[in-house]
Homo-oligomer: A and B are copies of this chain.
Amino acid sequence: MFGSVFYISQMLHPQKSKRGKGKKMSKLITCEEAVKKVTSGSRIMVGGFGLVGSPLSLIAALAQSEVKDLEIISNNLGEPGRGLGVLVRQKQVKKAIGSYFTSNPEVVKAFQDKELEVELLPQGTMSEAIRAGGAGLGGFYTPVSVGTKMAENKEERTLNGKKYVFQEPLKANFALIKAKKADRLGNLIYNQSARNFNPMMATAADVVIAEVDEMVEVGEISSEEIVTPHLYVDFIVVKGGN
């Protein structure tokens, strides 16, 4: 016998444990339940390139909640009144770390009014820093931004005759990501260019909540096509689901 290394029929119909250890392993929750986990002052990674691949149902639920003083790590901050732009408008965001906020004029205004702190990173440095956070690295050297304003407060180092700047890893308390499909274990696949920052963010937060278009049975996503293995995903909400 092979013990009970995960055997799917058992998980889908969990038995009462003889020793009290058994628990239902379903990761499926509602947006409301998901957002209740987030506390004010949290650092949250939010997937998406603009609104594409952004977990809009989770963001809408956050906007309905009382949480504030959030530190958001996301490439952009939505558009005025759309996506993360709603949280900015409602002054729920204290600080934003990302690569391109100019596309939302309300972000520019909030920054000027000193209502919002901003930390800017080149897009490749940002995505790599998130990956490094998830991969347990202490930081890395990138040639990008050497000699520019973006490197002003960063360590510069010459390695093999080339100049690099040091970048620390990025981690967060929560990651809110968007995927196309999840199976019941939490394995994820994405939709075309909506993949973007989501797979890295799934690796770099204490609690990862994935919003998906569709939930399927285990086995419907093949072992070779899974992009985010289930160990990275703590909770799943279905888009628009309550």
Contact = CB atoms under 8 A, between A and B. Distances in A.
A189 B225 CA distance: 10
Query: How many copies of this protein are present in the complex?
Result: 2
A148 interface: no
10 contacts: A132-B140, A136-B142, A137-B140, A137-B164, A138-B140, A138-B142, A138-B162, A159-B168, A190-B224, A192-B224
Contacts of A168: 159-160
A168 B132 CA distance: 15
Given A140-B139, A164-B138, A224 B159 contact: no
Interface of A: 128, 132, 135-143, 157, 159-160, 162, 164, 168, 189-190, 192, 223-225
Contact of A225 (B140, B141, B225): B225
A208 to B, nearest CB: 21
Contact of A141 (B139, B142, B160, B192): B139
Contacts of A162: 138
A27 to B, nearest CB: 23
Nearest to A163: B138
Nearest to A158: B138
Contacts of A225: 224-225
- Listed residue (A140, A157, A223, A225) with the most chain B CB atoms within 10 angstroms of its CB: A140
B138 A159 contact: yes
Contacts of A142: 136-138
- Listed residue (A138, A143, A164, A168) with the most chain B CB atoms within 10 angstroms of its CB: A138
B192 A223 contact: yes
Given A159-B168, A168-B159, A138 B143 contact: yes
Contacts of A157: 138
Nearest to A141: B138
Contacts of A160: 138, 168
B141 A159 contact: no
Closest 7 CB pairs of A and B: A138-B141, A138-B164, A140-B140, A138-B159, A225-B225, A137-B140, A139-B141
Nearest to A164: B138
